Structure 1
Amino acid sequence: MGESATTSYSSSPSGYGIGPPWLFRGRALYQLHLVKAEIARAFIPKELKLVEAFGYTLGGLFLAHYDDSPAGVFDELVVIAGIVWNPPTSCAWASRVLVNSHEACRHGRKEIGLPSHVAIFSKRDAKASDQPLYKQRTSFIHSKPKEHSEIQVLEMEDYSQTSICNISLPFAAGDCWMGPKIRISLPSFSGQTTHNPQLLKYSCQIECRVRAVKSAKVSRPRIIQLDEFSNDIRAKEKNVDDRLSTENEERDRSIAVLLSKPIMALEFNLLKMQVEAPTVVAT
């Protein structure tokens, strides 16, 4: 089929010491999902109010490849559990952040208050020339035209690996049109983690070319089975009777977010993202 497999893992030296704001350049897929409020609420601090309607909130994923950053070249998958009120606007809440850079992981945990974890991003590219002509498109994650990508994300913990998901990236439009240039601000809450117990708020200032694309398909090799949701939501893997640890429960709830129904996907090209230093939120 003309496929090649590569494993992306970065250990670039840190450039975070220059201080904020921190600048990232690359490309990304920003995908919104309808997430069950019960799943999202398990991540949200009690002092924050979840934005929900008819039992759902807006979550999803932010999948990025950075060609230039304080940590060098690396990949990132941000799992967005939901949206919380921050009058007069609202802010996103990330339930899990996966990066293939130790420096980016440490910075995310200590400075931004993110639930960051080191991961391996294994990419498999299938050339569109091997597909019927009506299926030939261009993938956002690669600079080469006429390619399609499958990405497997494996979370690292000590010497073990846990499969998080497989992401089948969409075929975008066949021409070179990248959409209009926009500037947006994506405010987010973070913190209340083991590495940063304070409630924080930070902002990402983004400049990019944006266009709507077909949603990526997210799957997981190992099937997980979710119990009926209660005030404390629990997740159990199939054929495992023992109750999962808190960490495993949080991981599986994040996977449930990724597997939820996508409603819109945006491709960010020529991405320039400036991350401001977080501020402590009074509670």
Structure 2
Amino acid sequence: METKEAISQLEYGKPPWVFKGSALYQLHLVKAETARAFIPKEFKLVEAFGYTLGGFFLANYEDSPAGIFDELVVIAGIVWNPPTSCAWAARVLVNSDKACAHGRKDVGLPSQVANFTKKVTAVTGTKKGGFGNFLSKISMKDCPSTSKNCIDIQVKEMNNHTTINMCSINLSSSVVTKPQDDSKKWMGPAIKISLPSFSGRTEYNPHLLKYCCEIECRLRAVSAARVSGPGPCTFDKDKDTKEEYQRNLSIAVMLSKPLLAVEFNSLKMKVEAPTVVSQ
């Protein structure tokens, strides 16, 4: 049962909060034991044969209450909430202090400030891939129109004035048309979807919360991005700090097997204020 109790909005403005830009949503097969490390015990994990659906949401917002910023949401898995299911975020990385504070206090997300370093390289080849319009929107608008472009996005978490490598995400695309030549068919059909999620139970917001992202966009399936990690990660709950343990498990989610990738173009995401869930 849910109450209508709203969470304070800091200086982010009144909800709903609207974000515009583009994004990549990639689903992975995540080990159930990895996902359970993030999810409260009262929730039942949606799993089969020892795996659940997790992955990541990589977005570049051109317009938002916090201005322009990048976001990487690591999704641990799916939990059952009759009559539907909801996602649970293991870690949220943003290159905006304001967005980080909002995620922590207002939405109950495990947000961290991070650096997103983007490098584009032109690669010869004729294979056609995805991400064509997404690449032009993630602060790489001046990419050369070669037969194939590759972009490496290096994500480094900022912690106590030090940087910690999280992952590298490689996006490749056949850019055979100029941005002004993009057609509606090429960008995919216009759709409206709702993505419900649970959050909270963090040091910044101890409540158990539920919120929903109402999305309008043009959607199309693309080739999965390649994700690489910083190196071998330990999973010693006794020796590692809680922060190190959860960070390494988040990297394990990113390195799990990809199943499906979709590109959100002309994205408009509306987020209502979370409500407190009472058990």
Cα distance in 2 between the residues matched to 1:141 and 1:37: 32
Q: Secondary structure of 2:172's partner?
A: coil
Of 80-89 and 167-176, deviating more is 167-176
2:205 to 196, 202, 210: 196
Q: Is the 8 A contact 1:28 1:141 kept in 2?
A: no
Alignment of 1:15-34 (within 5 A): 16-34=11-29
1:141 corresponds in structure 2 to 135
| Deviation digits for residues 153-207 of structure 1 (CA, Å, limit 9, x no counterpart) | 0000121110000000132675631000000000000000000000000000000
1:166 corresponds in structure 2 to 168
Q: Is the 8 A contact 1:60 1:258 kept in 2?
A: yes
Alpha-carbon distance, 1:15 to partner: 9.6
Alpha-carbon distance, 1:221 to partner: 2.9
Q: Is the 8 A contact 1:61 1:77 kept in 2?
A: yes
2:194 corresponds in structure 1 to 185
Q: Is the 8 A contact 1:31 1:215 kept in 2?
A: yes
2:240 corresponds in structure 1 to 244
Cα distance in 1 between the residues matched to 2:260 and 2:206: 33
Alignment of 1:1-283 (within 5 A): 16-127=11-122, 130-134=123-127, 138=132, 140-143=134-137, 144=141, 145-146=145-146, 147-171=149-173, 174=176, 176=182, 177-226=186-235, 234=236, 243-283=239-279
Note closer, same or farther for the CA distance 1:173–1:30 as it changes in structure 2 (3 Å cut).
farther
Alpha-carbon distance, 1:126 to partner: 1.3
CA RMSD of aligned residues (A): 2.0
Cα distance in 1 between the residues matched to 2:63 and 2:12: 15
Cα distance in 1 between the residues matched to 2:133 and 2:230: 23
Q: Is the 8 A contact 1:60 1:262 kept in 2?
A: yes
Note closer, same or farther for the CA distance 1:77–1:96 as it changes in structure 2 (3 Å cut).
same
The residue type equivalent to 1:244 in the other structure is D
Note closer, same or farther for the CA distance 1:243–1:77 as it changes in structure 2 (3 Å cut).
same
Note closer, same or farther for the CA distance 1:249–1:15 as it changes in structure 2 (3 Å cut).
closer
The residue type equivalent to 2:232 in the other structure is I
Cα distance in 1 between the residues matched to 2:267 and 2:152: 21
1:238 corresponds in structure 2 to none
Cα distance in 2 between the residues matched to 1:250 and 1:174: 41
The residue type equivalent to 1:206 in the other structure is I
Note closer, same or farther for the CA distance 1:174–1:184 as it changes in structure 2 (3 Å cut).
farther
Q: TM-score under structure 1 normalisation?
A: 0.85
Q: Is the 8 A contact 2:10 2:102 kept in 1?
A: no
| Deviation digits for residues 26-52 of structure 1 (CA, Å, limit 9, x no counterpart) | 000000000000000111101111100
The residue type equivalent to 1:60 in the other structure is G
| Deviation digits for residues 254-281 of structure 1 (CA, Å, limit 9, x no counterpart) | 1000000000000000000001100000
Alpha-carbon distance, 1:243 to partner: 1.5
Note closer, same or farther for the CA distance 1:182–1:139 as it changes in structure 2 (3 Å cut).
closer
Q: Is the 8 A contact 1:154 1:165 kept in 2?
A: yes
Cα distance in 2 between the residues matched to 1:269 and 1:172: 16
Q: Secondary structure of 1:142's partner?
A: helix
Q: Is the 8 A contact 2:116 2:154 kept in 1?
A: yes
1:8 corresponds in structure 2 to none
| Deviation digits for residues 208-256 of structure 1 (CA, Å, limit 9, x no counterpart) | 0000000001001322255xxxxxxx36xxxxxx921111000000100
Q: Is the 8 A contact 2:18 2:64 kept in 1?
A: yes
Cα distance in 2 between the residues matched to 1:95 and 1:117: 11
In the alignment, structure 2 segments of 5+ residues that lack a partner are 1-8
Q: TM-score under structure 2 normalisation?
A: 0.86
Aligned residues: 255
